[in-house]
Chain A
Amino acid sequence: MILTKQNLMPLLRNLTGAERDVFVPTQVDGVSKFALMDKGTVPDFEQVNTTMPPKDLLFPQTQKMYHFDVDANGSYRIHEYDESREQLVFGIRPCDMRSIVCLDEVFLTKGFVDEFYANAREKLTCVCIGCASAAETCFCASMDVDPQLAPNADVMLQDCGDVYNVIAQTPKGEVEVAAWAPFVEEGVVEPVTCEQSLAVSMEGVVDKLEGMYDHPIWDNLSIKCLNCGTCTYLCPTCHCFDISQDMRRKDGVRFRCWDSCMFSEYTMMAGGHNPRPEKLERVRNRFMHKLNFFERRYGMSLCVGCGRCVEKCPVALDITRLIDDVAAIG
């Protein structure tokens, strides 16, 4: 089945309805991100990657978990929020779909299910648009992602130039595509091959890193890091969070919000001990987590090659150079 690019906007306008929220890549106050589609929204399906990753659809930057109140006797009651709404994300890219594979592992496995994530995940439908071209910081193909494929997307739209191949990949996707009948037609077209100028070789890198915890490479890498945390906020797979609360008078709310392993307070303990007190330990932990720890724990890389950190790091601390450097070590 194919969808012509002329039919994209008519289809999209038809998808927005009262029963669910539709998110598209667009500019909000000058920042490129996935935002709720309404009448005035101008989606941007040409830009390869949004600046902000779509992870907040599943893992909001700040999320109220529950609220509570206390009566005059000091008796507390915990109240839960009503369940979230159905969401459709249209135009998510294959690298970001891979990041959801990683997040699913973190939040849904190993004995405990994170109910907030699970609820949002169940209600999210993903329409992925494949990439016909790459930004200069894109290197997903080196991280085992095919820029025109995302097996975990509900619907895959492969970019074939003037048209998209429409592939329903899950039961949810089949229901979705069935409703697109007025906008699609029969046919299959050859997808455009996405050329990426940035490439790394991960061959042997995971195993080499295993023995490099005390290697001087981490000194060289961390010395220029500002610990600003930009990489962690823009990373589609970074999922660390803090839990805190706010209470006024008799009502309070407990929430979680994104946190960053780049900050010294992140691991600071009440007694004053900090197991990762310096930049070196924090930078090493972050890159090891991306390229080795996660691989050992979940069998996949935690870097999906989206290139956001490469593009936005203010001191050009570049994960692809680290991979190259590790690969080059004999």
Chain B
Amino acid sequence: MSGIEIAHGCAKGERPLIPQVCRVVEITQETPDVKSFRLQTLDGRKPFDCQPGQLGMFGLLAYGECMFVVSAQSDEWVQFTVKKVGLVTEQLHALSVGDEVSLRGPYGNWWPVEACKGKDMLFISGGIGLPPVRSFLLYCLEHREDFGRIDLVYSGSKYDDLVFKEQLFDIWPNEPDMHVHVSLYHEDPQWDGPVAYTAPFLETLELGPEDGNRVAVLCGGPSLSRTCREALVGVGFDEGHIITTLEMRMKCGVGKCGRCNMGGHFICLDGPIFTLEEIASMHSDV
């Protein structure tokens, strides 16, 4: 069974290192330390056209810039969902609507939306791993007839850490043939649902490969990725049908500054999206 085919090195662009000044047009507090920012150009347009899964370098001229997956987009804006973990993200969290920011991109490849047509989709993520996965999930929901059953398996350390709660609990469960499964890693007074780590929780759901007709889309930290890969392989998934989006420290976004390499591949340019089968054939430190 051949794996899902993913395009690599497909991003092209002019003047990749010069940002444009953009404006924050909407801010959503997703969790105590996660916010989503919608950005437009100063004259009110969408900053760039991009495919779901592509990256943007979002930041502040005075403080620096970081790479994020575009977590959602419309014809008028792009959105980034940012967890406050360091110097730049702390400054991003201090932004107000109307503030000016810097943005460059898009970079990298995109989710294999064509190759997944007609498939059942199993999205798996933990914590801040959901925004990158959501870019694909939103595409599937916008093109609902092109995809089969959709499952989302999502976990967080505690209730407050779950991002996109409105979509998770009120919107997505009501989408046709979409099944949302949420667990927390620890007991929480705000939570009466399942308490389990993602991989064992995933195992209880008995979502198999359906003879290659189901594609798993995985994004989380190193241990979530490892354990969920094992769980998926354990129920018969081949690694060509498990897709992930990788993250590493990045500076340029176009395969030149050097640091995000996995062997001879650069996550920013050839990735961030690979099948696990592809990653297994690389010299990966990730």
A113 to B15, CA, bound (A): 7
B92 CB, nearest partner CB in chain A, Å: 11
User: What 1/0 mask marks residues of chain B from 242 to 282 whose CB sits below 8 Å from any chain A CB?
Assistant: 00000111011011111101011100010000000000000
Q: A68-B61, A269-B248, A273-B222 are in contact. Are A297 and B264 (CB under 8 A)?
A: yes
Are B17 and A111 in touch, CB under 8 angstroms? no
Which of A31-39, A69-77, A137-145, A146-154 is near enough to bind chain B? A69-77
Over the window 86-130 of chain B, the binary record of Cβ atoms lying under 8 Å from chain A Cβ atoms (1 yes, 0 no) is 111100000000011010000000000000000000000000000
Q: Taking the complex as formed, is B1 at the interface, i.e. its CB lies under 8 A from any CB of chain A?
A: no
Task: List A residues 259-316 near B (Cβ within 8 Å).
Answer: 259, 261, 266-271, 273, 275-276, 281, 285, 288-289, 292-294, 296-297
Verify if B143 is at the interface (C-beta below 8 Å from A). no
Given the known interface contacts A76-B21, A266-B259, A285-B285, the answer about A111 and B100 at a Cβ–Cβ threshold of 8 Å is no
B258 touches A270 (CB 8 A): no
Interface size class of A (residues with CB under 8 A): 35 or more
Interface segment among B6-14, B174-182, B189-197: the answer is B6-14
- State whether A66 touches B100 (Cβ < 8 A): no
Among candidates A244, A245, A267, A288, residue contacting B283 with C-beta atoms closer than 8 Å: A288
Q: Assess whether B21 is in contact with A261, with CB atoms less than 8 Å apart.
A: no
**What residue of chain A has the Cβ atom nearest to residue B84's Cβ?**
A270
Q: Is the interface of B mostly helix, strand, loop or mixed?
A: loop
Chain B residue contacts of A292, Cβ below 8 A: 263-264, 283
For residue A281, which residue of chain B has the nearest CB? B285
B63 part of interface (Cβ distance < 8 Å): yes
Of the 9-residue stretches A12-20, A93-101, A235-243, which lies at the interface with chain B? A235-243
Considering residues B89, B222, B255, B283, which has the most beta carbons from chain A within 10 angstroms of its beta carbon?
A: B283
Q: How far is the CB of A299 from chain B (nearest CB, A)?
A: 11
**Beta-carbon contact of A65 and B248 below 8 Å:** no
Verify B100–A74 contact, CB threshold 8 A. Answer: yes
CB distance from B93 to the nearest CB of A (A): 13
A184 to chain B, nearest CB (A): 39
Which chain B residues lie closer than 8 Å to A76 at the CB level? 21, 61, 100, 102
Query: Are B85 and A271 in contact, CB atoms less than 8 angstroms apart?
Result: yes
Is A116 in contact with B86, judged by CB distance below 8 angstroms? no
Query: Which residues on B sit within 8 Å (CB–CB) of A111?
Result: 9-13, 254, 269
With a 10 A CB-CB cut-off, give which of A74, A243, A281, A294 has the most chain B CB atoms: A243
Q: Decide: B285 and A293 in contact? CB cutoff 8 A.
A: no
| Cβ–Cβ contact A74 & B99, under 8 A | yes
Distance between Cα atoms of A243 and B12 in the complex (Å): 21
Assess whether A293 is in contact with B261, with CB atoms less than 8 Å apart.
yes
- Residues from chain B with Cβ under 8 Å of A66 in the complex: 18
Which B residues are in CB contact (< 8 Å) with A293?
261, 263-264, 283
**Bound complex: CA A114 to CA B248 (Å):** 21
C-alpha gap A95/B111 in the complex (Å):
42
Flag whether A106 is at the interface (Cβ < 8 A). Answer: yes
Q: Is the CB of B62 within 8 A of A112?
A: no
User: Which residue on chain A has the smallest CB distance to residue B66?
Assistant: A270
Q: CA A292 – CA B263 in complex, angstroms?
A: 9
| Nearest CB in chain A to that of B127: its residue | A271
Is B16 close to A, CB under 8 A? Answer: yes
Q: Pick the most buried of B10, B62, B88, B256: most chain A CB atoms within 10 A of its CB.
A: B256
Residues of B within 8 A of A239 (CB): 256, 258
Q: What is the minimal beta-carbon distance from A290 to any residue of chain B, in angstroms?
A: 12
CB <8 Å contact, A243 and B251: yes
The complex places the Cα of A275 from the Cα of B257 at a distance, in Å, of: 16
Asked if A241 contacts B252 (CB within 8 A), the reply is yes
Interface string of A140-177 (1 = CB under 8 A from B): 00000000000000000000000000000000000000
Question: Across the interface, which residues of A come within 8 angstroms of B261, CB to CB?
Answer: 285, 289, 293
Neighbouring A residues of B256 by C-beta, 8 Å: 106-107, 112, 114, 239, 241
A77: B residues at CB distance < 8 A: 21
Q: In the bound complex, how far is the Cα of B13 from the Cα of A125, in angstroms? A: 28
Question: In the bound complex, how far is the Cα of B201 from the Cα of A13, in angstroms?
Answer: 76
Distance A247 CA – B269 CA, assembled complex (angstroms): 29
Q: A78-B61, A267-B249 are in contact. Are A65 and B17 (CB under 8 A)?
A: yes
Does B258 lie within 8 Å of A275, measured CB to CB? no
Q: How far is the CB of B281 from chain A (nearest CB, A)?
A: 10
B contact residues around A243 at 8 Å (CB): 17, 64-65, 251-252, 257
- Specify which of B9, B100, B257, B265 is in contact with A75 (CB 8 Å cutoff): B100
CB-defined A-B contacts under 8 Å, sample of 24: A65-B18, A74-B100, A77-B21, A78-B18, A78-B19, A80-B18, A112-B11, A112-B254, A112-B255, A113-B16, A114-B254, A115-B15, A240-B258, A241-B256, A243-B65, A245-B63, A252-B62, A261-B259, A267-B249, A270-B89, A271-B85, A281-B285, A288-B283, A292-B283
The 6 closest A-B pairs by CB, nearest first: A240-B258, A270-B86, A293-B264, A112-B254, A297-B264, A296-B264
Question: What residues make up the interface of B, taking CB atoms closer than 8 Å to A?
Answer: 9-13, 15-21, 61-66, 85-89, 99-100, 102, 221-222, 247-249, 251-252, 254-259, 261, 263-265, 269, 283, 285-286
